[in-house]
């Protein structure tokens, strides 16, 4: 999506539930957006907050859910909310600017949790990133965070840059796991080439793939030359445990 202008009227749309969140109350309100696969009121509040650019309400919704675990926050609140944002954008119900704003608010809210999380130190090395050209980085970030929480020493290389560079920085010989996220089907060829390079550069590393482009393809690991495919960040953690 090309960058768009963020207009002031996008910042605070009249969702009464967002105003409720600002004063710390969660209430069922039919003005809240429906969220498929989300966790009830929490996901709906968070969705309303990011769609209205309300940083305070977005942060508050995630902080209130911190006791449920980061995996719950990521998969039952944040990912379903972003799905809803994508759906609305696809249906032309929101603008590109709305989508950019919602994503930025969601990322800032997630980042505000980081100082509150007891990240373990040390552990086996993992490098997590996207295929080159892939700009959808949020899912990979979630995978990196949940692996870090499970005791991996994780390097997150973000998107649009070479994951091979991340491998180099982490010390290729020591890397036990490389996780590659692919959202768009058109990036599968780059991902395959990247995985081939990783095989040569870090022959001891296990390679895990995931993301929207491969989640529904049971033979994705074979097609891409990876060791396994997982459909969510928490499943990535389970698969990776066997490789520690």
Q: Interface with ligand B12 by CB under 6 A: which residues? A: 1, 74-75, 79, 82-83, 85-87, 89-90, 99-100, 103, 133-140, 142-143, 179-181, 183-185, 208-212, 215, 230, 232-233, 236
Minimum Å distance from CB 194 to ligand B12? 12
Q: Which is nearer to ligand B12, 19 or 87 (CB)?
A: 87
Output the six-digit token pair for 159: 């998107």
Distance (Å, whole) CA 100 – CA 171: 34
Distance (Å, whole) CA 132 – CA 214: 16
SS3 string, 102-141, reads: HHHHHHHHHHCCHHHCCCCCCCCEEEEEECCCCCCCHHHH
Minimum Å distance from CB 17 to ligand B12? 21
Q: Which is nearer to ligand B12, 85 or 195 (CB)?
A: 85
Contacts of 68 (CB under 8 A, 6+ apart): 76
Output the CA torsion sign for 229, 146, 113, 157: negative
Q: Which is nearer to ligand B12, 60 or 206 (CB)?
A: 206
Minimum Å distance from CB 24 to ligand B12? 26
Minimum Å distance from CB 80 to ligand B12? 9
Q: Which is nearer to ligand B12, 20 or 103 (CB)?
A: 103
């Amino acid at each position: 999506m090309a960058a768009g202008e963020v207009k002031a009227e996008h910042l605070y749309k009249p969702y009464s539930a967002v105003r409720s969140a600002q004063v710390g109350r969660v209430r069922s309100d039919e003005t809240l957006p429906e969220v498929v696969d989300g966790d009830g009121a929490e996901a709906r509040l968070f969705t309303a907050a990011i769609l209205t650019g309300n940083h305070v309400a977005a942060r508050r919704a995630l902080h209130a859910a911190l006791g449920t675990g980061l995996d719950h926050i990521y998969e039952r609140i944040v990912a379903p909310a972003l799905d809803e944002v994508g759906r609305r954008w696809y249906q032309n119900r929101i603008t590109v600017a709305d989508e950019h704003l919602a994503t930025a608010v969601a990322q800032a809210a997630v980042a505000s949790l980081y100082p509150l999380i007891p990240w373990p130190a040390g552990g086996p090395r993992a490098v997590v990133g996207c295929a080159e050209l892939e700009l959808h980085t949020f899912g990979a970030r979630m995978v990196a965070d949940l692996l870090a929480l499970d005791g991996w020493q994780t390097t997150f290389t973000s998107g649009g840059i070479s994951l091979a560079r991340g491998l180099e920085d982490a010390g290729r010989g020591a890397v036990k796991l490389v996780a590659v996220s692919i959202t768009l089907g058109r990036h599968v060829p780059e991902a395959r080439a990247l995985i081939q390079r990783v095989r040569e550069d870090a022959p001891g590393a296990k390679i895990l793939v995931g993301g929207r482009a491969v989640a529904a393809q049971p033979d994705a690991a074979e097609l891409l030359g990876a060791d396994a495919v997982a459909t969510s960040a928490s499943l990535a953690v389970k698969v990776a445990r066997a490789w520690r």
